[in-house]
């Protein structure tokens, strides 16, 4: 049960504490804060020693593209008058690096070929002819159902060149893109 709901139900700090499963002093503090118009679950943000130096930390992280170490940052801001510990600096640098990475990460964008602009091809396993393995070279234009399938015995360079020649002749040549 919620603390303030239990207090509204019972009207007593001790009984509300039993229902909510907390200390009666906590119930009293929550009731006083509610009476002042403050949300008791929110905490006031306290200032930290490093707050005055955060712009410099941000500048160093930006300038190094997120590669600077907290020890180097601590030396620089200590020379500027920072009296806090290296742990405070490590936390601030880690938070700033996380913020930097969130805004500067590489987005994966898959390649989508334009229709009929790209010839794609692949090899497949073909049937055995007189006990000899064959491969199937399948070629197609992007976004097209038209396929050129050529059975071959090997995948050597002359065979690949001959397959390309046969494919382009079947398709009617290749279109200049420039």
Answer yes or no: do 68 and 90 share one domain: yes
pLDDT of residue 176: 67
| Section 152-169 average pLDDT | 94
In this predicted structure, the answer to whether residue 104 has a pLDDT above a threshold of 70 is yes
Answer yes or no: do 94 and 128 share one domain: no
Q: Quote the domain boundaries for residue 25.
A: 3-35
Q: Report residue 49: phi and psi, to 5°.
A: -60, -35
Q: Which two tokens stand for residue 97?
A: 């690096």
Segment holding 88, helix H or strand E = helix 86-103
Number of domains present in the structure of the chain: 3
Centroid of chain to Cα 114: 27
In this predicted structure, the answer to whether residue 108 has a pLDDT above a threshold of 70 is yes
| DSSP conformational letter for 25 | H
Give the bridge partners for 123, in sequence order.
137
In this predicted structure, the answer to whether residue 1 has a pLDDT above a threshold of 90 is no
pLDDT of residue 95: 96
59 inside domain: yes
Those residues whose C-beta lies under 8 Å from the C-beta of residue 4, and which sit 6 or more positions away, are: 30, 31, 34, 40
| Section 16-22 average pLDDT | 92
167 inside domain: yes
Percent of the chain past pLDDT 70, that is, above it, reads: 97
pLDDT of residue 42: 83
Neighbours of 46 (CB within 10 A): 6
42 inside domain: no
Backbone CA torsion sign across 48, 49, 52, 58: negative
114 inside domain: no
Answer yes or no: do 126 and 97 share one domain: no
The Cα–Cα gap between 168 and 71 comes to: 61
157 inside domain: yes
At residue 16 the predicted structure's pLDDT band, cuts being 50, 70 and 90, is very high
Which of 38, 44, 12 lies closest to 3, judged by CA? 12
Name the average pLDDT for the chain: 91
Answer yes or no: do 96 and 130 share one domain: no
In this predicted structure, the answer to whether residue 178 has a pLDDT above a threshold of 60 is no
55 inside domain: yes
110 inside domain: no
Q: Which two tokens stand for residue 108?
A: 């994966």
């Amino acid at each position: 049960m919620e603390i303030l709901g239990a207090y509204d139900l019972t009207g007593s700090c001790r009984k509300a504490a039993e229902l909510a499963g907390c200390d009666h002093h906590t119930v009293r503090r929550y009731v006083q804060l509610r009476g002042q118009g403050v949300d008791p679950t929110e905490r006031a943000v306290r200032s930290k020693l490093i707050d005055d130096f955060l712009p410099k930390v941000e500048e160093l992280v930006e300038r190094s593209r997120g590669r600077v170490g907290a020890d180097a940052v601590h030396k620089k801001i200590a020379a500027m008058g920072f009296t806090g510990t290296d742990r405070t600096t490590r936390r601030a640098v880690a938070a700033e690096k996380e913020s930097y990475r969130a805004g500067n990460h590489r987005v994966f964008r898959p390649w989508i070929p334009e229709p009929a602009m790209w010839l794609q091809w692949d090899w497949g396993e073909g049937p055995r002819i007189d006990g000899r393995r064959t491969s199937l070279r399948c070629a197609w234009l992007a976004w097209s159902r038209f396929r050129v399938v050529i059975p071959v015995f090997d995948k050597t360079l002359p065979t690949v060149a001959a397959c390309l020649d046969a494919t382009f002749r079947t398709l009617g040549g290749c279109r200049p893109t420039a």
